[in-house]
Amino acid sequence: MKTEMTHWERIRAAIESKEVDRLPVSMWRHFFDKEWSAESLAEAMLAFQKRFDWDFMKVNPRASYHVEDWGVKMRHTGDAEPELIQAPVKAPEDWSRFKKLDINRGVLKEQLSALEIIRRDLKGDVPFIMTVFTPLSIAARLAGSEQTFLHDLRVHTHKVKQALDVITETFIDFSYACFERGASGLFLATTAWATTERLSEKEYAAFARPYDLRLLNALPKAEFNVLHVCREHNLLRAVSDYPVHAFSWDARGKGNPGLAEGKAMVGGRTVIGGIAHDEGLTVASAAQLKAEVKGMRIAMGDKGWILGPGCTFPPKTPEANLRAIREAVEADAR
């Protein structure tokens, strides 16, 4: 019989590819109606953690928090995905007008306050990591559409790079502040941009990589930084040398490496994923999900990886399915 590990012991063992008492697991989703204040965001995150006892918490704030202090405005209605109603970039010249933000004001301060509440409640027992988008991903949200941003990035590169410098410096400061408030690391997400559906590998190396690495290399020492490489046909290989502890992606996505292939691609470092994050999760039966987890454990073993979704999963997912995933890692664990 294996000695039961704490959440921290299990995550540290996974990062170091050591034996665990059971496979670590975490799932994450938006609570759209709760994301608009520090208190309600923290409350939603903590309630979700207490229901399922995940091995780490991925703090899942509203996706627009990075850019609201620069003038992005959203319309939110109930528990539905917010809608963009105003973007500050209306002409190429606007890229040169952004200034570094004071992280102790506005929406960024609100997010830091949420982390303080989460830290007080978790009392160090559960690792929690803050979602931060890569600088290129943040810049894209300042434009009215991905198409507009992509045009400006390719045609008005110098102007966009001025904004990228400001964004990177702002989020270096913000990331430091997250660690000061107890975050165990960052969940650094590439959103729509580390995929050949948007950029070539050469373009990603020119437009994104320098800013990603400037941010990562400026961070203080952390225990659990995760790079999340979004979308299908992703560029995991192009970012496989990034200085993080774990890599997350949709291992089921078209054109993406599977878990084992991706683990080899990132030099054997820890990988997170394996669970569908789309309709496949919402319509699956509990028995089907348990069988899928069992199959992955047979293929991967229980060392050096963490079970999780390929990306944020739909709020309509039945809680019975989440319970099945949680129970699946307990099966035959000891």
State the Cα–Cα distance between residues 311 and 326, nearest whole angstrom.
17
What residues contact 235, with CB distance under 8 A and at least 6 apart? 190, 194, 195, 196, 199, 201, 204, 229
User: Is residue 247 a contact partner of residue 272, using CB atoms and an 8 Å limit?
Assistant: yes
- pLDDT tens per residue across all 334 residues of the chain: 579 999 999 999 999 999 999 999 999 999 999 999 999 999 999 999 999 999 999 999 999 999 999 999 999 988 889 999 999 999 999 999 999 999 999 999 999 999 999 999 999 999 999 999 999 999 999 998 999 999 999 999 999 999 999 999 999 999 999 999 999 999 999 999 999 999 999 999 999 999 999 999 999 999 999 999 999 999 999 999 999 999 999 999 999 999 999 999 999 999 999 999 998 999 999 999 999 999 999 999 999 999 999 999 999 999 999 999 999 999 866 5
Q: What angle do CA 246, 223, 330 make, to 5 degrees?
A: 65
User: Is residue 25 a contact partner of residue 55, using CB atoms and an 8 Å limit?
Assistant: yes
Could you give the domains of the chain? 7-328 (3.20.20.210)
How far is the CA of 23 from the CAs of 53, 302, 326, in angstroms? Answer: 13, 5, 10
- The b-or-e profile of 27-59 (16+ CB within 10 A means b, else e) is bbbbbbebbbebeebbbbbbebbeeeebbbbbb
Query: Tokens 């997010």 identify what position?
Result: 111
Residue 124 CB neighbour total at 10 angstroms:
10
Give the pLDDT confidence score for residue 238 in this predicted structure.
98
Give the pLDDT confidence score for residue 332 in this predicted structure.
67
Give the pLDDT confidence score for residue 78 in this predicted structure.
85
What residues contact 206, with CB distance under 8 A and at least 6 apart? none
